[in-house]
Amino acid sequence: MRHILLIGFGAIGRHVASGIAGERRVKLSILVRPPYREQTEETVGRAVEVVSRLDEMQEVPELAIECAGHAAVAQYGEPCIASGSDFFVTSVGALTDAALLKRLTDAARVHLGKLLIPAGAIGGVDALAAARCGGLSRVRYTSRKAPSAWRGTPAEEMIDLDSLKEATEFWRGDAGDAARLFPQNANVAATIALAGLGFERTEVSLNADPAAPGNIHVIEAEGAFGRMRVEMQGKPLPSNPKTSSLAALSVLRAINNRTGAIQI
């Protein structure tokens, strides 16, 4: 039986818990802040261990899955790895903090653990990481969203979102700056950077498009392997329009790879 800890019980945590409900090969624990503990216990029932601190668990999980935001990566990453758990990060944008990334990487090396980074809301990350082994020369990430999706961001000061008639690029730079300036793109940009050429060498183009059918993500890469172009048009979770359904499904895939006879 695999012991899995979910850190956080928001949209992704709930989706994952529902997806593995009744799975005999998984023992599930959930960590939430004290104000949400009773509510979480009522939702998941007595079969699931609910805690508010790591030291409350009856045993160390083999896999801790962060589903609670950037602050949770900083708070729980090192303690989980040091205790013997592999640490799975859904809020990959937190790793744009170079000091945090180094601490987690060092902890994984010292304690022989793993810092696991999922593909999340995008596809092609496996091919990009494989291509890096042979040598990458260029990686470019393009994000295209409806103008309304950029409200409340620095885009409002860079472009008149109300008057757009066609797709318009309003920002171009590297993945590190993109993640810091536009946190809603941080996870995707950071994942691509970590899989490929790093934060400074990964090009990012952000676009507002009144005709965009949703959030469009495009990865383009060149190298010794050849060329690739992957485009994703993702749908959000029904329970939270700001969360990609594929991001939640990538967590379930990680669990299935732990429990199944075949790993893909």
Distance of CA 28 to the CA centre of its chain: 20
CA distances from 250 to 19, 27, 61, 119, 253 (A): 12, 19, 19, 7, 5
Q: Which of 3, 15, 70, 217 is catalytic?
A: 217
Q: What span, in angstroms and rounded, lies between the C-alpha atoms of 60 and 31?
A: 13
Identify whether the C-beta of residue 79 lies closer than 8 Å to the C-beta of residue 54.
yes
- Identify the pLDDT of residue 215: 87
- Identify the pLDDT of residue 179: 86
Is 217 considered catalytic here?
Answer: yes
pLDDT tens-digit series, residues 125-181: 999 999 999 999 999 999 999 998 898 889 999 999 999 999 999 999 999 999 888
pLDDT tens-digit series, residues 97-113: 999 999 999 999 999 99
- Identify the pLDDT of residue 264: 85
Classify residue 16 by burial, with Cβ atoms within 10 Å: 0-12, 13-18, 19+: buried
pLDDT tens-digit series, residues 14-65: 999 999 888 888 999 999 999 999 999 999 988 899 999 999 999 999 999 9
**Positive or negative: CA dihedral 70, 191, 111, 264:** positive
pLDDT tens-digit series, residues 4-22: 999 999 999 999 999 988 8
- Identify the pLDDT of residue 240: 76
pLDDT tens-digit series, residues 183-196: 877 889 999 999 99
Of 184, 158, 186, nearest to 174 (Cα)?
186
- Mean pLDDT over 236-249 rounds to 82
Domains of the chain in sequence order: 2-117 (3.40.50.720), 125-235 (3.30.360.10)
Of 243, 253, 246, 263, nearest to 8 (Cα)?
243
Q: Is the pTM of this model over 0.75?
A: yes
